[in-house]
Structure 1
């Protein structure tokens, strides 16, 4: 399974939904809480092409986007393919 990074904040409902979907897929992920450090938020924005909202999700080094994009990938079946690749 590819490495998954998800940048979040504790009070973000979209973050919770995205993590719930990844857990349902049994996908291990690294959660990075950007609320604890401005440096982490800047790093997230740099990786995400300037996007400053959470969540920002990366699968295998590919920037997926946020919760809506993750859900769309799941509906189309592409998320399963991404998770199956190494």
Structure 2
């Protein structure tokens, strides 16, 4: 069973593209919420993300992971794959 991965993005955000590329390389399905210009959606995301409004914001099994750099750090530390398999 694979994890439930959700990612809030903007369509042209280079960090969003980079985070999605890592998930794709790992063959992980994810739900993407592209919130271009939608401040209500961004407010809802920020509530889930402990006030963080930068993009992307990534959640694995409803746990807030953070942004692109946080995702890549988890991967470099070998801590991402166990989360994705949970």
> Partner of 1:15 in structure 2?
16
Alignment of 1:3-82 (within 5 A): 3-82=4-83
Say which SS state the counterpart of residue 36 (structure 2) adopts.
helix
Deviations 1:15-68, CA, capped at 9 Å, x for gaps: 000000001111100010111522211110000011010000000111000000
Higher helix share: 1
Say which SS state the counterpart of residue 32 (structure 1) adopts.
strand
User: Structure 2 regions of 5+ residues with no counterpart?
Assistant: none
Cα RMSD after superposing both structures: 0.8
Higher deviation after alignment, 62-71 or 36-45 = 36-45
Say which SS state the counterpart of residue 35 (structure 1) adopts.
coil
TM-score (norm 1): 0.95
